[in-house]
Structure 1
Amino acid sequence: MSARTDPDGPVEQVVLLDESGQAIGAADKARVHHADTPLHLAFSCYVFDDAGRILLTQRALGKRTFPGVWTNSCCGHPGPGEPLEQAVRRRLDQELGLEVGELDLVLPGFRYRAAMQGVVENEMCPVLVTRTTARPAPNPDEVEDVVWVPWAEFRTSVLDGTREISPWCALQVRALPEDPWAAPARPTSELPPALH
């Protein structure tokens, strides 16, 4: 992953986007999220097990954005020049110590904006699904807790509003196919131009 160097070590950067999804620059991840967050590139990943359960994660209480909120398995930001699949696998390892199988693209053009406690997320955020047989080993700096939930139960509880979940996850569940694992993968040509 590309990162700017700093006397204290590498600084993780995110890719800034214009309204068409073209890259227009980069910004330090630690400084990009505020009350007027610029549009930038991200991703969300949903990890399933062989029983069809989804891995839900609770964001660490010390995170600057959406601390303690339950959400999908993993979220992150590709760095400048970093391929999407490489970024997803990097974050799954960093956050959950997970190795996964094939990554399937299910919502290539997903975009959202959400705010909490004065901090805004503003992202073009492709959504992928994958499977694992491994047991997660959460990084406490990133993840407070994890739980496996049957997908149908999870989907129903999100759609009927009985499950508290991150705003982006709620929007994604509404946009995902009823059975995202069985749905055909979408072509990478539908990704934002910055990922081509």
Structure 2
Amino acid sequence: MLVDRDGRALGTAPKTSVHGPETPLHLAFSSYVFDGEGRVLLTRRADHKVTWPGVWTNSCCGHPLPGEALGRAVVRRLAYELGLRSAGADLMLPGFSYRAVMANGIVEHELCPVYRVVVEGPAQPNPEEVGETMWMPWKEFAEGAQNGLLALSPWCREQVPLLAELGCDPLTWEPASAAELPPAARG
């Protein structure tokens, strides 16, 4: 779903046409999966991905289908990419947006609300999407990300400080209201 700077829908475009040198702003999401101990699930993107192949990042990112609520899209993609089942996702950063350029000129330009998901059980990565997974204590991960000690995707590097502002225990973060989502993201 293509969006304007105010988060209003402009139309749709195939995913393949919105990841190139002239990437228009489009709707996406990021999610951070936690277990009951507050560890975050990190993923290394599959080596054949168009954007940031082989790079470590947050648990799961993706795009909603036309008309699909973002929370449902998060749950759908977690099942597909990581074999994780969840009853829902908590909205944490409703207005997050970023633009990043790869060395080869491919651009990511996304209005990308961020979600927290708590799960039980191990991940079963889909090799089409994920090269590797790793659980890490949130505090250790947040400190490493903010101090530049971990090589991470550009969106993850921008999101972690904002999430860290919500508190040191990710299991107690207060979710944002869905009313804070940009108009196109409200489903």
Fold match by TM threshold 0.5: yes
Q: Determine if the alignment matches structure 1 residue 173 to structure 2 residue 160.
A: yes
Higher relative contact order (CA 8 A, sep 6+): 2
1:181 offset after TM fit, Å? 2.8
Deviation string, structure 1 residues 6-65 (Cα, Å, up to 9, x no partner): xxxxxxxxx000111000010000121001100000000000011111000000000011
Q: Which residue pairs with 1:189 in the alignment? A: 179
Distance 1:89 1:106 in 2: 15
| Structure 1 range deviating more: 108-117 or 98-107 | 98-107
Contact 1:105 1:186 in 2 (8 A): yes
Give 2:65's aligned amino acid: G
Q: How does 1:31-42 map to 2 (within 5 A)?
A: 31-42=17-28
Alignment counterpart, residue 9 of structure 2, candidates 16, 23, 27? 23
Q: Determine if the alignment matches structure 1 residue 121 to structure 2 residue 108.
A: yes
Q: Which residue pairs with 2:120 in the alignment? A: 133
Contact 1:101 1:132 in 2 (8 A): no
Alignment counterpart, residue 164 of structure 1, candidates 151, 164, 168? 151
Alignment counterpart, residue 74 of structure 1, candidates 60, 63, 69? 60
Deviation string, structure 1 residues 125-175 (Cα, Å, up to 9, x no partner): 000101111211101010000000000000000111111011100100011
1:184 offset after TM fit, Å? 0.9
Distance 1:166 1:91 in 2: 18
Distance 2:153 2:15 in 1: 20
Q: Which residue pairs with 1:56 in the alignment? A: 42
**TM-score under structure 1 length normalisation:** 0.90
Alignment counterpart, residue 98 of structure 1, candidates 84, 101, 104? 84
Deviation string, structure 1 residues 64-114 (Cα, Å, up to 9, x no partner): 111001000000001110111111111001110111244111100000001
Distance 1:59 1:98 in 2: 17
In the alignment, structure 1 segments of 5+ residues that lack a partner are 1-14
3-state SS in 1 of match to 2:12: strand
Q: How does 1:5-24 map to 2 (within 5 A)?
A: 15-24=1-10
Give 1:165's aligned amino acid: L
Contact 1:46 1:128 in 2 (8 A): yes
In the alignment, structure 2 segments of 5+ residues that lack a partner are none
Q: Determine if the alignment matches structure 1 residue 112 to structure 2 residue 102.
A: no
Distance 2:89 2:52 in 1: 26
Distance 2:12 2:88 in 1: 29
Higher helix share: 2
**TM-score under structure 2 length normalisation:** 0.94
Task: Name the % identity.
Answer: 53
Contact 1:107 1:127 in 2 (8 A): yes
Distance 1:164 1:195 in 2: 29
Distance 2:171 2:30 in 1: 14
Q: Which residue pairs with 1:8 in the alignment? A: none
Number of residues of Structure 1 aligned to a counterpart in Structure 2: 182
